[in-house]
Each structure stands twice: as C-alpha cells, then as structure tokens.
Structure 1
C-alpha cells in the first residue's frame, strides 16, 4: 500500500530518507522554510568571482563509512580534498591539529617523535588523573603553554564560556600527533563535491515520487495529513518551545572579497582572545581544482543563539540535557512523527553520520511496513 510521507526539512536527513521511500514506491513531500535545499551545507556559485561559496560556513566531507561514501558519489562527483588548518597565535602561524611540526616550531626544538612525547609529558599536569573539564583535559595532555596558545582563547570565543565549564569530551576530538601529518581529519574517504552540496541534494531529491516545497513552514498541526512525518527541525520547535528553548551557539559571518590569494589556505584559526573572530575561511581553497583571481572570505563570530538565529552547535550542558529529556518524553508520546538529524535529536553530527542515520532510518521505516510495527519517535537515542 502506497504511503504519503512528509519530510520537514530539505537537508541531508530529509533528502536521504525521502529518496529511499520514494524509490520504494511511496509518495514523499519535502518542505523547507528556506528558499533552497541542502540546509546548512547549502553552496552557491558567486557571480562576481566564480567561487563556490559555502553559504553557512564550510562543510568538508570525511568518513570511514564506505556505503555513505558510495551514496554521495552516486549523486555528485567528490574530488580529493585534505583539510589543512592553520592558526595564528601570539604573532606566529602554526599548523593544526597540534603535530610534531607545531611542537618543534612553538618551543624552538628539533625533537623526534619519542622525544616530543616525553617533552610534552614533562609539560603536562600529571596530577590530573581523571580530567573532567576541557581545561583539565588540555593541561593533562599538552600542558599550559600549548593550551594557552591554541585552545583557551579559541574555546572562550567559540563557546562563550570558560573552558572550566565545558566537559573534557569536547577536547577528546582534537588529537595531538607525533609526526608531521597536518591532515586535520584521519578518515579513509575525504573530499568535496565538484559542483557543491546543493547540486548533490537537488539530485537526491530529483525523483518523480518526491515533491519539494520551499519557503514553506510546516507545523505539528499538519502532521495528521500524512501517514508519517520525519522532522529534522529543532525538537523544541515542534512543541512550540513549551518547555523553553534548548541552547545553541550560532555563527555570524562577515563576508569580504579580495583580489588574489588572501591567506594561502582554506581555514585560518585565531587563538588569541583579543581577536574577536574565531577563524577566517577562504572559500576558493575548498575547491583546489579550480582557479579564480578573486576570492570570497568569511570572518566567523560565535555567539549565543537567539530565537531568530540559525542554530549551529547544541550546547548540551547539564541544564540543556535536562530539558532535552523532557522534550524526548513528549516526542515519544507522539504517534506519527520521527525526529531525525542534528536539530531533531539535538546532537552535533558530521555529514557522514547524518547520512548513515538517515539510511538506517529509511530502512527501519520500510521494515515496519512489512512487520506492522510502529515507527519510533527516535531511531537513535538523543540522550
């Protein structure tokens, strides 16, 4: 029996789930409040310079998931791209993540890998045996000098609070390497879509069983018109924020153009507290196979997300987790909606994980049609 499904949001979650259900013969409506598809990974070609601009900040695709890599390459050609981040700190430029070159340059040394390990261990605060905060984690593993130069100021600006208030888990994602590898990511598959992410999502949605409605806001009241709803908007928004708003950080982008090459790399972080922005991104360097005389750059400023802002990073500290638990209870009482994606589950998700979860969610939905089981509110536990 053909079902009619609604995807609220035309980002990766809605597009991937919608495509799978449409290919299985069902009707799919995809609605998005914005005038474009692809959500925050929306890209567009700048008319003046020809540069492919990542409108909501850069998105770099990296994964170890072969099925996800094959999936995105089905809809767009991904060309090789390695993210090599630099940082300006205390009047000098270093490479990130912290690697053997960073250590030797910063301390004026010529250490071998084993020597560098011992050297940093000597800098570390070994009295910290079970780091609980971001600051404790940094002091334990890299010591005060590298912490002050590369982590403290950037974190203050990015999260708007002291590193003593953030969990150690945030820093565990930032490795220290005792070799000269400056590839920011370590995944097997890394690349950028040749024609941008929006072109890829448009192709995913290009199916006769899918209708796309842009500039369209869909609320909880309209859910009853469909057999099932997949909601990738903010979970608190589905319930009209009746329990309060979950906390996010948002980003402001200050665009500027430059004739030539402004910084020689795609991403330049700024670790000093006195610099108000966290980083500058130069978008033509995200497509190294292209050549452009002009350049488009963004200065990024992080701040608390207001009610009219685009939510980027879920804060997920103690108060937010408590409120999230209450919203999850409300969600699980709903009868025909499944919450998906970064906003629907209030989790920070890389693109590959978003696609993996969407593929799994779509398969779960098709399986329930065979078994007669109810589609759950969550296919991944948001707590």
Structure 2
C-alpha cells in the first residue's frame, strides 16, 4: 500500500496532475501525499466524489444520493480500514424490493421470493428441486436469456429479469452475454441482503464529505470547476486520468458507448414506499427503479421525503456516462484505444471511466492504492509508469 511508502528527502518531487476528484483520483492523491509527493487534482464539476456525490436536499434536508444510490460493501479488510479512517460508517445492509404486476417481492431471488411467487412454503431442498424442474435444459447457454432460463426457468425469468434487463440495457436479453446473469445471486435460503460482503455501511455524513476528508492534505491542491487542458500537464511529473478513456484522445477512434440515467425527483409527506429501493420489472413501467433517499440514513428523522425515478437510455455526447456496454463491438473499439494509450508517455488511466469498466467503490479504492504504490516504486527505480496498472480487458 502506498501509505507505507515514503520518498527520500533528496528525491525530485515533481507534483502530479490528477484529473478527476472521485474515489480513484482522491485516494491516489492522498496516498501520494502521505508519501510526501504533491499533486494537483482538478475536476470539471463543482463537487468532489464524482457520481457518488451526496448532498442535502434543500426542501426536505434529506441526505440525497444525487447520481443514484451507492452502498459501500467489501470483503477487503484493508479497504474497509482505509475508508473508516476518514468517515464514521453506519451499519447498513442493502435490501431491495421489486414490483411485478400488482405484487411486491424480495430481491435478489431467495427462498422468500420463490415461495412468494409460487404461493408455496417450500424448504430449501424442496425449492432447489422445484427450480431445477422449472429450468430449461439448455446445455450451453449462449446469452443472458438462455442462461436465465436454464437457471431459474421461464416464469421467474419473464417476471423478474426480462423486462427489467430490456429497460436497463436498451436491448434484448438475447443480445447480452450469459456472464451478466451469472453475477446475480440465487439463494435457497431466507437471505434478502443484496450484498453478502463482510463489511457493509454508509458514511454518516455522506460520500462527498468522506472524499473531502481524503483530499484534506497540504500537499493536495484541489481545483473544482476546472476542465483539463493539455498545457496544464506542464510542470507535472505525471498525469493520472480518471475521465472517459476515449475523451482523452478527443474520440478520434469513435465513442465508447455507455448507458446513462435520467432522474426524476419528487417529494412527499411521510414515507413514500417503505424501503430504500423499489425496482419495477414490468416492461410497460418506463423507469427501472425508485430510490427513497431517507431510508439510507435511517439514523435521521425527516417528516418529508424525496424520491427519485431512474430512466436508463443510451448516453449521448453531453450525457454523464454510467454503465459501459462492453459487448463484442465495444470491446474491439476498446482494444484500439488501449493500443493508442500505450503510445502515450507520462499518462496513466485509472478508475471506472479511465479503464472502461464498471467497478464498485471498494475495487476503485483498492486499485488507486495499488496505482500509487506502483508510481512511487517507479519513481524510486527511475522507470516509466505504465498506461494501465489494471488491465481493462
């Protein structure tokens, strides 16, 4: 870890330029600063924390996840120790509900969901045998739909996955790889937790305050509302880019496609839906889910509430990118950009956007710590820094 690495007093400490004040950029900057290396961190937005940004709603005073809900979860003890160094985390286990037709179910699919859906009271072994009999006998599932049908059967697939997936990705589940479905848990026990990691929680004061504290160091020069210009790299020892990979190259090979989200906020008195997140699986419901933000901060008391509907669509040139598509054509374009990045000296691409991957917060932090260590080691050995510390493929 970079926090255990320091540079000698005689080393030439040229500051680095870090583009982006999300977790990737902030953790990298702090790790380098703790080792004695200064940095300039710039971000075009008016706030830190990127899409994890949280702020108080001016009407309800509810702490709001501005760009969609974020729950911190990890099995990495060192990452948990890192974030709890900068913030007081409240225990929180995420539980999602989904509306199908006129009924509400627990998600992900567990023994409760199965018994709810089929109107049964099966025990684990009975449910396992029942679902096995429901499943389609597809020997080598080639896509999301075939994998789902071969795992849970047609009825559960069409109720919970088909419509939601179509809305989220804007294409038929037959066009998505089978691996996408394999990331979704199926439990034959009563366990409604969305994540099963050892460490789970939400920072009491929100993610933006957490990132602000990470960046509070005399060797970190934070500049918000500042867009990247190539001449800004002058005088810096290295550039770490956490923006979109294709944007760094002015999209010269074409745009890497993303899904983006449109948010519709509304307020109400009391408690609107009784849970933090309600998914809507039916294809005729235009949004994918509704977030009720005050349920994330259960330790607070608010008489009013603010909720957010999410609508997924293809990202345009001016939209905020959220989910990389990463199908066959997109991966081919990604490989071309990786080859191009390999020809650039003095730049390393980091984070979710810089590596065109969807990674969780804990992964982003762990990779930023590794990147800092790699850079400090490169400085000491007087060798060049690679364009990618973690392979995007």
TM-score, scaled to structure 1: 0.99
TM-superposed deviation, 1:48? 1.8
Q: What residue number does 1:52 align with?
A: 63
The one of 70, 90, 109 aligned to 2:101: 90
Name 2:8's counterpart in structure 1: none
Could you say what secondary structure the match of 1:37 adopts?
A: coil
Instruction: String of CA shifts for 1:47-93, please: whole Å, max 9, x gaps.
Output: 22121000101100000000000000000011100111000002100
Q: Say if 1:231 and 1:337, in contact at 8 Å, map to a contact too.
A: yes
Do residues 247 (structure 1) and 282 (structure 2) align?
Answer: no
What is the aligned counterpart of 2:324 among 292, 314, 333? 314
| Aligned match of 1:133 | 143
1:259 to 265, 269, 279: 269
**Superposed counterparts of 1:193-204, under 5 Å:** 193-204=203-214
Gaps of 5+ in 2: 1-11
For the Cα contact (< 8 Å) 1:79–1:191, is it kept in 2?
yes
Structure 1 residues without counterparts, runs of 5 or longer: none
Q: Secondary structure at the match of 2:26?
A: helix
Give the equivalent residue in structure 1 for 2:184: 174
Deviation, structure 1 residue 219: 3.2
Summarize the alignment of residues 145-224 of structure 1 with structure 2, pairs less than 5 Å apart: 145-224=155-234
Aligned partner of 1:377 in structure 2 is 387
In the alignment, structure 1 residue 62 sits paired with structure 2 residue 38: no
Q: Which runs of 4+ in 1 moved over 2 A?
A: 219-225
Partner of 1:121 in structure 2? 132
Task: State the Cα distance separating 1:221 from its structure 2 match.
Answer: 4.3
Which residue number corresponds to residue 270 of structure 1?
A: 280
Counterparts of 2:235 and 2:288, CA distance in 1: 44
SS in 2 for 1:301: strand
Q: Is the contact made by 2:14 and 2:235 (CA closer than 8 Å) also made in structure 1?
A: no
Deviation of the 1:26 alpha carbon: 1.5
Residues 90-130 of structure 1 show CA distances to partners (whole Å, capped at 9, x for unaligned) of 2100000001111011011110000000000000012x122
Distance 2:230 2:391 in 1: 21
User: What secondary structure does 1:147 align onto?
Assistant: helix
**What is the root-mean-square deviation in Å for CA atoms of aligned residues?**
0.8
8 Å Cα contact 1:223-1:336 kept in structure 2: no
1:35 aligns to 2:46 (yes or no): yes
Aligned residue number for residue 123 of structure 2: 112
What corresponds to 2:111 in structure 1?
100
Q: Deviations over 1:229-285 (max 9, x none)?
A: 100000000000000000000000000001100000000000000100000000000
CA distance in structure 1 between the aligned counterparts of 2:234 and 2:330, rounded to whole angstroms: 29
Q: Distance in 1 between matches of 2:245 and 2:58?
A: 36
Aligned equivalents of 1:24, 1:153: Cα separation in 2: 50
SS in 1 for 2:254: coil
Within 5 A, what are the aligned runs for 1:323-338?
323-338=333-348
Counterparts of 1:207 and 1:129 in 2: how far apart (Å)?
56
Summarize deviations over 1:328-351 as a string: whole Å, max 9, x none: 111111100000000000000000
Structure 2 residue 14 is matched with structure 1 residue 3: yes
Counterpart contact for 1:219–1:238, Cα < 8 Å:
no
Moved more, 345-354 or 16-25: 16-25
* Kept in 2: contact 1:97–1:175 (CA 8 A): yes
Distance 2:182 2:91 in 1: 26
